[in-house]
Amino acid sequence: MAGGRVYTGGSGGGGGSSPLSVLFQNQKGSCASQPLDSLFLSGSSPSFLGSRSMVSFEDARGGNGSNRPFFGSYDHEDNGDDDLDDYFHQPEKKRRLTADQVQFLEKSFEVDNKLEPERKSQLAKDLGLQPRQVAIWFQNRRARWKTKQLEKDFDALQASYDSLKAEYDNLLKEKNELKAEVVLLTDKLLLRERERGGFELSDTNNLSQEPLQKQVSESACEAEASKVSCKQEDISSAKSDIFDSDSPHYTDGVHSSLLEPGDSSHVFEPDQSDLSQDEEDNLMSKSLLPPFIFPKLEDVDYSDPSESSCNFGFPVEDHAFWSWSY
């Protein structure tokens, strides 16, 4: 025995003389002739006396035939004496508790799932079981309860996750739609600028006298006026998305050819070979590139892509975020 525990089987039970085979001859429900509540509330001597389940068969057979135990698995009421004899000559085996015993224990468990020594003794006495059997039953019952509780918790978490994922998917869809819109408008804008001939970025001689930022901003606002608000904060959140092609979410396939990585940036990069260092610095520091395309460096921290506005607060590596489920 572990932990110094001693299995004191063999001598428990009430040893009542009245045969209970009428009441407990079938564990599958037919024995429920007595309401459980009356069993549970009927004081210290419910009709379990005489049960010797799990005790030694030598003990169980005990005295005379009238003291026959009502083992839970014993539903051989139609068997003859030979079968009965065989049954009792089996080596000691596990015996299931009767349905009534289990119901009684269940009721007790509902009241309190912990078992103080006194209650254990009382239950054992009432049910005609060994106190250890009662303790074991409670222990196993607690384990089952815990498992079910875990299943419930899991279901709740799963539901919560499903809800959040649906919400996330909607946001992602919305994001991609906005992204596509930005790209479309950008293309339109570039096309218009080219038609005007005032924005030939590949030709440094054509750099406008007007500050580039002003030019583009005005054009942007013209383009935006029809549909999109020209508010700086609105656009700046989208502009970082344009160059977010590394994001695993970027699957909308609406990239403008002008904005493809390695191809797009030069569109807005004036050839600075003829600029003075000051002008060059000015260009860089003030970010003369269109503000709705390139965020100011101080606005966006590219060192941590997960913090960029294009992700709506979700980590870029969201595939890792979702990968644990399903």
Partner DNA sequence: TTGTGTTTTATTGCCTCC
Partner DNA sequence: GGAGGCAATAAAACACAA
Which residues form the interface with DNA (CB under 7 A)? Answer: 1-5, 7, 27-28, 53-54, 72-73, 75, 90, 93-97, 102, 114-115, 117, 132-133, 135-137, 139-140, 142-144, 146
C-beta of 137: minimal distance to DNA in Å?
6
Q: Which is nearer to DNA, 54 or 293 (CB)?
A: 54
10 Å CB burial of residue 214 (0-12, 13-18, 19+) is exposed
Query: What token pair was written down for 261?
Result: 């990585």
Q: Which is nearer to DNA, 120 or 175 (CB)?
A: 120
Which amino acid, 15? G
C-beta of 229: minimal distance to DNA in Å?
56
C-beta of 9: minimal distance to DNA in Å?
7
Buried b (16+ CB within 10 A) or exposed e, 226-253: eebeeeeeebbbbbbbbbbeebebbeee
Q: Which is nearer to DNA, 89 or 114 (CB)?
A: 114
Q: Which is nearer to DNA, 115 or 228 (CB)?
A: 115
CA neighbor of 253 nearest in space, from 183, 174, 171: 183
C-beta of 10: minimal distance to DNA in Å?
11
Q: Which is nearer to DNA, 58 or 281 (CB)?
A: 58
**Cβ–Cβ under 8 Å, residues 141 and 113:** yes
Q: Which is nearer to DNA, 89 or 94 (CB)?
A: 94
How many Cα atoms within 13 Å fall on the side-chain side of residue 72? 19
Q: Which is nearer to DNA, 62 or 131 (CB)?
A: 131
Give strand ranges (E) for the chain: none
H-helix or E-strand containing 149? helix 131-196
C-beta of 35: minimal distance to DNA in Å?
21
The per-type count for the chain, helices as H runs and strands as E runs, is 11, 0
Taking the chain, what is the end-to-end CA distance rounded to the nearest angstrom? 44
Which amino acid, 282? N
Q: How far apart are CA 245 and CA 261, in angstroms?
A: 8
Q: Which is nearer to DNA, 21 or 309 (CB)?
A: 21
Q: Which residues contact 41 (CB under 8 A, 6 or more apart)?
A: none
